[in-house]
Amino acid sequence: MRRAAAVFMMLMIAVLMQGCIRVSTTVSVNSDGSGTVTERVLMNLSYFRTMLGPEKGEKQTGATGIPSRKSLEKNAAAMGEGVRFRNVRKCSEGPFEGYQAVYAFMDVSRLTISGRPDERKESDSLQTASVGDGGRNGRVGFRFSRDSLATLVIVMPESRSLLEPEKNAAHPSAPPAPDQQKLALAIMREAFKGTRMRLVVTVRGEIVSSDADCMDGAEAVLADIDFDRLLSEKSHEEALLNLTGYGSASSSPGEFLNRVPGVRGETKQMVAIVFR
């Protein structure tokens, strides 16, 4: 649980640092080990322009909402050897606008994935991932084998590597007063309205067996955080405040995973999907 809950903590910290964003990453794997990564990144542009002003809002979100080809190619290199940028297009969902990028790979065993949206915005500083990085550096890795059936093993990241982003998080040094906690919740409800983070792996074929905790058909849900649902549950306000550093105690990601509406994810260190 400690290691598997890292994906949830990674996404939670990233959202707290940025807010008002929707990120969906889907890894699709074929029976020969090849496949695609589809990344959808949307931001509430009107929110950023209102909160930061037109000039700073445009700088935060980007004038077009679509990264340069150079940045997307660097994103591909950061995912592993042999990963190639395929295409990108604009997309929108209500007030959320952004892009959908598709990357292709020939060997999923060389692929590593991070669910952190802040890495996308800092793509110029990314380093090329190496085979074996999966499970380290806050990244999800994969192992693939093929006999009469295809077997995909998903390796979850180490939780300790996800503590590093907290250095930049504006957490209070002492527990806030009750009125400050109420204010923090009110701000979170407004800032994260419509925010959702989703990281899933899907196989293209018939699943024979899987030991994943969180499956939706052919999809293994590694992390799915719906802030609209999460923040609407008043009974979990104290735990949410504790987890984000604004409570009187501390909570672990394991207290949320698959127990609170709006928060789903994988709890095992490694899961295997056998398919044909």
For residue 31, pLDDT beyond 50: yes
As to burial, measured by CB atoms within 10 angstroms (0-12 exposed, 13-18 middle, 19+ buried), residue 168 is exposed
Two structure tokens written together for 46: 């009107």
Query: What pLDDT was estimated at residue 210?
Result: 96
* 149 vs 7: which has the higher pLDDT: 149
For residue 73, being part of any structural domain is answered with yes
For residue 61, pLDDT beyond 60: no
For residue 36, pLDDT beyond 50: yes
HEC string for 95-133: CEEEEEEEEEECCHHHCEECCCHHHHHCHHHCCCCCCCC
Two structure tokens written together for 49: 């322009």
User: What is the per-residue pLDDT across 185-210, written as a single tens digit (0 to 9) for each?
Assistant: 777 777 777 888 899 999 999 999 99
* 253 vs 43: which has the higher pLDDT: 43
Query: What pLDDT was estimated at residue 121?
Result: 45
Query: What pLDDT was estimated at residue 272?
Result: 97
For residue 112, pLDDT beyond 60: yes
For residue 55, being part of any structural domain is answered with yes
Query: What pLDDT was estimated at residue 125?
Result: 37
Query: What pLDDT was estimated at residue 181?
Result: 77
- Under 8 Å between Cβ of 106 and 34: yes
Query: What pLDDT was estimated at residue 124?
Result: 39
Query: What pLDDT was estimated at residue 253?
Result: 56
For residue 213, being part of any structural domain is answered with yes
For residue 21, being part of any structural domain is answered with yes
> Within 10 A of 195 (CB to CB), how many other CB atoms are there?
24
3-state SS, residue 159: helix
Nearest to 263 by CA among 232, 219, 217, 218: 232
Read off the pLDDT of each residue in 7-13 and give the average, rounded to a whole number: 50
For residue 81, being part of any structural domain is answered with yes
Read off the pLDDT of each residue in 16-22 and give the average, rounded to a whole number: 64
CA distance 170 to 147: 50
The count of structural domains within the chain is 1
Q: For the chain, where are the alpha helices, taking DSSP H only?
A: 6-18, 45-52, 54-61, 69-79, 117-121, 178-191, 227-232, 237-243
For residue 132, being part of any structural domain is answered with yes
For residue 246, being part of any structural domain is answered with yes
Query: pTM for this one?
Result: 0.77
For residue 1, being part of any structural domain is answered with no
Full domain range(s) for residue 221 = 6-275
User: What is the per-residue pLDDT across 130-176, written as a single tens digit (0 to 9) for each?
Assistant: 555 555 567 899 999 999 999 999 998 875 433 333 444 455 556 66
* 252 vs 233: which has the higher pLDDT: 233
Maximum average pLDDT range among 70-79, 183-192, 263-272:
70-79
Query: What pLDDT was estimated at residue 40?
Result: 94
Contacting residues for 155 by C-beta, under 8 A, at least 6 apart: 134, 135, 140, 141, 142, 143, 269, 270
Read off the pLDDT of each residue in 110-124 and give the average, rounded to a whole number: 63
